[in-house]
Amino acid sequence: MCTLIGYKNKNRRIIGFNRDIHISRQHTKTISTRDYWYPQDPLGKGSWLGVHRDGTFLCLLYYDVDYQPKGDERSRGHIITSLLENEKHQLDSIDLHQFGPFQLLISNPEFHVYKWNGQMLRQVEIQDEILVLTSSSYGYADYRRNWILSDLSLFSQIDRLFLMNYLAKHQPGDKGEMQICMHGYRSQTTSSVIYEDQSLKRELYITQGAPCSQAYQKVNLFLNTNNDEE
């Protein structure tokens, strides 16, 4: 299960994301250009997350719906790379019927959430002050999202240090698939990203492994070189 947490007020926008993937999946490298940055999936050559120089933050999650896969589908990660290359970052520039179901956050600086079920795209109304998106191939996504929202409502401030600690969280003696930082026998948290935009100062931090054991490192965005992430 992947976990995305977003918080925004008039002075600051902060987004944290844990990527949970099957233990057999390969690690990634990061792609940086003058205009955008993203971690590349070596299998599909797309990405689950990207940042553009104009401040747009994109993040893609699995969407667990009743769906029959087509044999000629493209990797969903190409949605992120296509949006980064599109100056306006608009979904209507992409034929979504090439892709399986997904959830997508587009933020600059407002939070816009879209869900594609394989046939229809809808924009989700955001009613909570805190944005939480979760994904699961086991059917737990809604339950997990609700208890994270309930848990976060107990805290008065969400900043970078808080998110770094929260995304590394798991209960004593339980590191399974329901935890924020998970170490399941099938899937595990392999990286964590925090993006902070405060008074036009934009910073991104990433872990090379699970955030419970690896420190966040600041990323130099928008370079002209490719750098190994993990």
pLDDT at 124: 95
Residue 196 one-letter amino acid: E
Q: Which mean pLDDT values do the consecutive 10-residue runs of the chain (230 residues) have?
A: 91 94 78 93 90 96 84 89 94 93 95 95 90 81 87 90 94 75 88 92 94 95 55
48 φ/ψ angles, rounded to the nearest 5 degrees: -105, -5
25 φ/ψ angles, rounded to the nearest 5 degrees: -70, 145
pLDDT at 230: 41
Task: Delimit the domains of the chain by residue range.
Answer: 3-220
| Among 18, 14, 7, CA closest to 135 | 18
With beta carbons less than 8 A apart as the criterion, state whether 222 and 59 touch: no
The Cα 21–Cα 62 span in angstroms is 11
3-220 CATH fold: Penicillin V Acylase; Chain A (3.60.60)
| Among 72, 107, 110, 104, CA closest to 91 | 104
With beta carbons less than 8 A apart as the criterion, state whether 41 and 174 touch: no
With beta carbons less than 8 A apart as the criterion, state whether 192 and 170 touch: no
Has this prediction a pTM greater than 0.75?
A: yes
Cα 90–45–220 angle (5° rounding)? Answer: 75
pLDDT at 94: 95
Give Cβ neighbours of residue 68 (< 8 Å, ≥ 6 apart). Answer: none
The Cα 90–Cα 154 span in angstroms is 35
Residue 105, both tokens: 């956050």
The Cα 131–Cα 129 span in angstroms is 7
How does 111-127 read in b/e, with b if 16+ C-beta sit within 10 Å? Answer: bebbbbebeeeeeeeee
206 φ/ψ angles, rounded to the nearest 5 degrees: -140, 150
Question: For the CA atoms of the chain, what is the radius of gyration?
Answer: 17
Give Cβ neighbours of residue 9 (< 8 Å, ≥ 6 apart). Answer: none
81 φ/ψ angles, rounded to the nearest 5 degrees: -65, -35
pLDDT at 107: 96
pLDDT at 225: 43
